[in-house]
A and B are shown apart, each in its own frame.
Chain A
C-alpha cells in the first residue's frame, strides 16, 4: 500500500459547485498534514495546513480523520481559477500524494 493515496480524478465540476477530495495515509503515527495546489508546469504552492480540529480558509475547508486515516479538502462555490491539481502531503518528509486534478467549467 502506498504511503499516501489520492483519487487522481479528474474531477470536472461546474462553477459554483462544491467538491471534495480525500487523501488516505498508511502511517498511523503521521502528525503533519498539508494540502498543496499545483498548476500545470508550475511548482506546488501551499494551500493550507490541516489541523486536528479541522480548519477553514474562505471557501476551503480541510479536515483530518485520524480513525480512518484520511484528510479531506472541501472547496465551496468553485471558481474557474480553482482548476489545478491538488496534492496532499503527510508528515515532514515531504512525500506527496499523486494529486487530484480538478477542472471547473463555466
Chain B
C-alpha cells in the first residue's frame, strides 16, 4: 500500500534553531498534505493543509512565518519550525492524500511522526 516516509523520527535541538521535517510519498503522488501537531495526551491538531505547487492554508492560530511549509513536488513536503522554542516541543505528523485511491481506504496515509524536543 501507499507509504509516507517521514524524517527525522526524533530530533532534539537548541532553542532558537530551525528544524526541518520531511515527508515523502513513496509510489504515489501526494497532491495534498496535512500537517498536524500533537502534545502529550492531547488530540491531533491540524496545523495546515498544503497542495502541491500552492501556498499552504494555515489553521487559525498557527503562525505561518514560524511553521514554514513547502510542497514543491508531488512526492515531497517539508515543515520547517523556525526559531524553535521549548513550547514547540511536540509530535509532528504528516498525512498525504493518494488521489489514485478510491473507496473505503480513504486514500490518506500518515507518516510515522517526528518527536521534536527543544532544549
Contact = CB atoms under 8 A, between A and B. Distances in A.
B44 A41 contact: no
A49 to B, nearest CB: 5
Interface residues of B, number: 19
B44 A96 contact: yes
A77 B113 CA distance: 31
B61 interface: no
B49 interface: yes
B20 to A, nearest CB: 19
Interface stretch (B11-19, B62-70, B81-89, B102-110): B102-110
Interface string B74-98: 0000000000000000010101000
Nearest to A34: B106
Instruction: Report which residue of A44, A49, A93 has the largest number of chain B beta carbons within 10 angstroms of its beta carbon.
Output: A44
Contacts of A95: 46
Contacts, number: 40
A97 B46 CA distance: 11
* Size category of the binding interface on chain A: 10 to 19
27 contacts: A34-B106, A41-B91, A41-B113, A41-B115, A43-B110, A43-B111, A43-B112, A43-B113, A44-B110, A45-B110, A46-B105, A46-B106, A48-B104, A49-B106, A93-B46, A93-B49, A94-B34, A94-B95, A94-B108, A96-B43, A96-B44, A96-B46, A97-B43, A98-B42, A98-B43, A99-B43, A99-B44
Given A48-B104, A94-B34, 5 more contacts: A34-B106, A41-B115, A43-B113, A98-B43, A99-B43
Interface of A: 34, 38, 41-46, 48-49, 87, 93-99
